[in-house]
Structure 1
């Protein structure tokens, strides 16, 4: 686990945020000037655009951390998964915060929870049975699927026989498809945390169906879908709870005016310590 210092928190907020934005933008300008001096601006244009998008993504990430750490409850970002639209030096950025405790802890799932997950995501019949058996076998190294080891070997895949290391490993189990994985991925996590339980208020609708056994068409799941779609309630109360020790994913999407797109996902955890207030648990 690597730690990332975000700056001093106080009445003036995180002093590092504007400084980081300034450094990143100056780096981008210096890169562009160097390319022009070398007479290869056209050839490096794509790299310059990428550098600009990455700088904007870093700035948006820092802004999100600042918002989540705000001591003023009224200004603190919530964990409801709604988009925060930002503009960084002319680049459009959207930041979304996901509560990892509103997801399904993948490596704690049993046979019944796997069945509820795959069924809620649309799997039926024999395919559903294959998915459940395949996911269980992947973790336990068991032999629920006849010839399963041979089938994996023919694909050049070695079953884990232990905990999932990435959500993407689900793609290797029998019966999985890209579409089904795309529906499942936002609802599962490898970063649930060692303490604390499932938080239904911030949960992905599929996670609600699995963790509460209410089903994907339950009132809570429907209400959560509406909230994620931006249908806000008339009265909203800002979160007064501390986020210390709670794994959070910040997803950033940035676009420039020329069709350039850059995505970044970072799992962070607030430590409650002034010396190193934030850990970066994973980044992609």
Structure 2
């Protein structure tokens, strides 16, 4: 009968075997080699684990570096765009004839070592004031931005009912009864509109239509008709339609479309040789050579004929009574013609760093907001890009602005 040997006892016996026992020495060597192989395997697994941890750490560190770089680029682009707002406000403090900025939507360029800033300024007096505009002007503007004629007519009357203090319904408007019929838990405001966004509460108004309408309306105006010299071309077309309708006709130049070009229009022309549209030693031609860019900001040449040569169209300076000319050449008008007198402007500023990071800032600048400071920012928000052509690069240049 074979005796079962305990492995522990065998290990101990091997460890204490005499040098004369050959089999004992061989068993001992096998145990040592087995222990060495296990130790080597543990070392290899430890090295693999350390290498994996190092790789994860390096990847996280690289991600953190990228995030920090993006944060720096975004902060730089935001600072440049904000600087464009203040640069525009500073330019508005001077008369255009003295080198100040115009509020007609023309594009200004401000290069620097960090990138480039492009901004336009729009005089709020050149927009349609929804608190003063007649229903006919509201209707024509709504049609121009894409509303069908029936919806435009009802919305125009509903806006009148929304702002007036009485309960008398316009022919196609909406008072409390109509709001209730629409299932709305509120009625017309029946007081002055403070924000253009309030029009979303008018029955029939949609967010998309309001977004297309917003660039051309204001609550800061003072007259029924907008200021001619600073009005966007869509507003000019709406006024033309109203004035011609009052004369018993309608100009082809005031024909409406689907409003698809609304978003890219600034209402001004890009001048490549005018000192008023560039700063320092670099003129606006540094980017104006792109035909696709310059064409986006050209004023429709056909609009001028809509003002006609008849004195019947004369209203609030919309036509020159002597010559019948609808527009004067840039720089020919007096200060009163170049600015509406409202002294409130929308500034759209876009910045692009040398690394290609972009930021867009829009602000409403009030030059008459306070006595103890030159201007007040009435509104401040992040905007959407309009002025930089996709894929366009901005060269690094030395800034030498005024």
Shorter-chain TM-score range: 0.5 to 0.7
* Deviation per residue, 1:230-260 (Å, 9 max, x gap): 3699963276527676212211122335554
2:221 pairs with 192, 195, 203, which one? Answer: 192
Of structures 1 and 2, the one with the larger relative CO (CA 8 A, separation 6+) is 1
1:269 pairs with 360, 366, 371, which one? Answer: 366
Report what 2:193 is aligned to. 164
CA distance in 2, matches of 1:65, 1:98: 12
Report what 1:13 is aligned to. none
TM-score by structure 1 length?
Answer: 0.66
Task: Provide closer, same or farther for how the CA distance between residues 221 and 53 of structure 1 changes in structure 2, counting only shifts above 3 A.
Answer: farther
Report what 2:119 is aligned to. 95
SS of corresponding position for 1:276:
coil
1:149 pairs with 180, 191, 212, which one? Answer: 180
CA distance in 1, matches of 2:239, 2:268: 19
* Deviation per residue, 1:170-203 (Å, 9 max, x gap): 334333344433432221111225x998420111
SS of corresponding position for 1:250:
strand
| Alignment partner of 1:203 is 2:231 | yes
Task: Provide closer, same or farther for how the CA distance between residues 149 and 258 of structure 1 changes in structure 2, counting only shifts above 3 A.
Answer: farther
Q: Quick check: which has more Rg, 1 or 2?
A: 2
Report what 2:298 is aligned to. 230
CA distance in 1, matches of 2:351, 2:376: 23
TM-score by structure 2 length?
Answer: 0.49
CA distance in 2, matches of 1:251, 1:177: 24
CA distance in 1, matches of 2:239, 2:74: 40
Contact kept? 1:152, 1:159, Cα under 8 Å: no
SS of corresponding position for 2:364:
strand
CA distance in 1, matches of 2:233, 2:253: 10
CA distance in 2, matches of 1:91, 1:153: 49
Task: Provide closer, same or farther for how the CA distance between residues 121 and 214 of structure 1 changes in structure 2, counting only shifts above 3 A.
Answer: farther
1:281 pairs with 354, 361, 378, which one? Answer: 378
1:139 pairs with 138, 163, 170, which one? Answer: 163
CA distance in 1, matches of 2:228, 2:328: 20
SS of corresponding position for 2:125:
helix
1:251 pairs with 307, 325, 348, which one? Answer: 348
1:107 pairs with 127, 131, 139, which one? Answer: 131
Report what 2:77 is aligned to. 53
SS of corresponding position for 1:114:
helix
CA displacement at 1:48 relative to structure 2: 2.8
CA distance in 2, matches of 1:114, 1:152: 25
Contact kept? 2:163, 2:191, Cα under 8 Å: yes
Contact kept? 1:59, 1:88, Cα under 8 Å: no
CA distance in 1, matches of 2:370, 2:199: 36
How many pairs are equivalent?
A: 242
CA displacement at 1:41 relative to structure 2: 3.8
Contact kept? 1:140, 1:162, Cα under 8 Å: yes
For structure 1, the residue ranges without an aligned partner over 5 or more in a row are 1-38
Report what 1:68 is aligned to. 92
For structure 2, the residue ranges without an aligned partner over 5 or more in a row are 1-62, 245-249, 257-265, 270-295, 302-326, 382-402
Task: Provide closer, same or farther for how the CA distance between residues 251 and 40 of structure 1 changes in structure 2, counting only shifts above 3 A.
Answer: same
* Deviation per residue, 1:66-92 (Å, 9 max, x gap): 322346835222222111122344233
RMSD between superposed Cα atoms in Å: 4.0
CA displacement at 1:272 relative to structure 2: 11
